[in-house]
Amino acid sequence: MDKLLIKGGRRLSGTLKVSGAKNSALPILAGALLTDKSVVIGNVPHLHDVTTMIELLGCLGANVVIDEKMRVEVSANDLRELRAPYELVKTMRASFLVMGPLLAKYGRADVSLPGGCAIGARPVDQHLKGFEALGAEINVVDGYVSATAEHGLKGAEFTFDLVTVTGTENVIMAACLADGITRIHNAACEPEVVDLVEFLNAMGARISGHGTPNVEITGVTALAGCVFDVMPDRVETGTYLIAAAATGGRVRLDGARPDTLQAVLDKLIESGAELSLGDDWIELDMGGKRPLAVDITTAPYPMFPTDMQAQYLAMNAIAKGTSRVTETIFENRFMHVQEINRLGANIELVGPSTAIVHGVDSLKAAPVMATDLRASFSLVVAALVAVGETLIDRIYHIDRGYETIEEKLLQLGADVQRVSG
């Protein structure tokens, strides 16, 4: 099993190209099932989760071709299987996103209940309520969700009980081919949802209101093919900015989208970073300074994203002062705290959703273990500033969400290597 060995104490400095967004690529790949025509998707990141989704599409009978630039061509005109197996869905929650397209196009789908990161229950009940509102009949049998709509889906009015990104994406995709108009309320507003809708509209869908809590979908009888590039990954962008700030460094990220990251940029400025922005680039300079501690509270977009909570907490661990980190999206998302404390941090949990971070002058290397995707990179941030060599185990979590991590860190001057054993 691969591990990362990081010798801390170097300031990150240099320029990186931001990868395509994993959280956009996955629903877009699933959305390619909605059409019989060929779809070409560019700027797809080379990640384990993307490979899993491509494998799932192939398992369903889609023809998938990938070129040397990670442009993915999907032709789903002859699906032979409408069942998404447990073996694939258990490893990644986003696999459940094939249900909406299959149900809309074929009138039925059998998809295993999902797995993925162990950061709370994250049930799919909101997805299923949305499908039922569109006229689907839902049954859960032997760990599989079986959905049928013998006479097709019908447009409807539906309000989510809580904001859910994948639930919003799944129901929007299902509504694309429904008969009539669907109005979704309390929809997720994340940029990745907007990117998916732009992709669907490029195929001929009729969707408006995306990026707001109220989305309207006018169903069409069929969708066409298209060529579409996935948006830049705002989580990767924010993660490398945080890592650079923690080390007192200076980085420029090209191919970024500053407009999708305002809450994180505001916090970085509060932490003492100097930022310069362009339409598609961000430059951060800490001037060798130690960051200042700042409070963060996660919330749905456009507020501070839960997927960057762990990384910012790691930076706060070596910041000047004391900060409060509050998680409102997922329960059980502080599993990284114990591991960062192994490096000498002073973090205390005060209930299931709040951590008090007392900044310390320095951290000291120790062996640590990754627990989930984003928490894994919080250990990388901590290791980059720790004195000595830190060995991070179970980095397959990192490979699910960060493309060529050691290569990118080496580009920025980090002392890092991937080791086996």
The helix/strand/coil state of 53 is helix
Task: Tell me the C-alpha distance between 210 and 198, whole Å.
Answer: 9
Task: Tell me the C-alpha distance between 349 and 369, whole Å.
Answer: 19
Kindly write down the DSSP assignment for every residue of 322-378, as one continuous string: EEEEE--S-SS--THHHHHHHTT-EEEE-STTEEEEE--S-EE---EE--SHHHHHH
How buried is 215 (Cβ within 10 angstroms: 0-12 exposed, 13-18 middle, 19+ buried)? buried
Kindly write down the DSSP assignment for every residue of 235-273, as one continuous string: HHHHHHHHHHHHTT-EEEEET--GGG-HHHHHHHHHTT-
Cite the active site residues. 117
Give the amino acid at 294. V
Task: Tell me the C-alpha distance between 152 and 180, whole Å.
Answer: 11
302 preceded by cis ω (within 30°)?
A: yes
Q: Tokens at residue 70, please?
A: 């990670």
Sheet strands (E) in 60-131: 63-66, 72-75, 83-84, 108-112
Neighbours of 12 (CB within 10 A): 24
CB 93 within 8 A of CB 401: no
CB 88 within 8 A of CB 95: yes
- Mode of pairing for the β-strands spanning 215-218 and 13-17: unpaired
Give the amino acid at 106. Y
Q: Tokens at residue 19, please?
A: 């990868």
The helix/strand/coil state of 292 is strand
